[in-house]
Amino acid sequence: MVSSLQSLLDGEVPVLIDFTATWCGPCKMQAPILTELKKEVGDRVRVIKIDIDKNPQVAAAFQVQSVPTIIIFKDRKPI
């Protein structure tokens, strides 16, 4: 998963990664906002949701210590 995610970051389109968990109340509140954002920005930004419980290695690779965490990447760098 980490290597495939890194390949997504290589693209020219900015990537928003939403680190979430099914048990996280604030994550559930944030989800509709991100859905609306995706509708507004369309293909100009790629929005990816990652469940930290199902992908702990990805969360560790990006040093996610709590949820919700959002990281936006442009040119492979967090901004």
The predicted pLDDT at position 43 comes to 93
Q: Which residues are catalytic?
A: 24, 27
pLDDT tens digits for 9-43?
888 899 999 999 999 999 999 999 999 999 999 99
Q: How confident is the model at residue 76 (pLDDT cuts 50, 70, 90)?
A: confident
DSSP state, residue 14: -
Contact 26, 68 (CB under 8 A): yes
Q: Is the pLDDT of residue 2 over 70?
A: no
pLDDT tens digits for 43-64?
999 999 999 999 999 999 999 9
Closest of 20, 21, 27, 8 to residue 73, by C-alpha: 8
The pTM of this model reads 0.88
- Please report the domains of the chain, with CATH numbers, ordered by start residue: 2-78 (3.40.30.10)
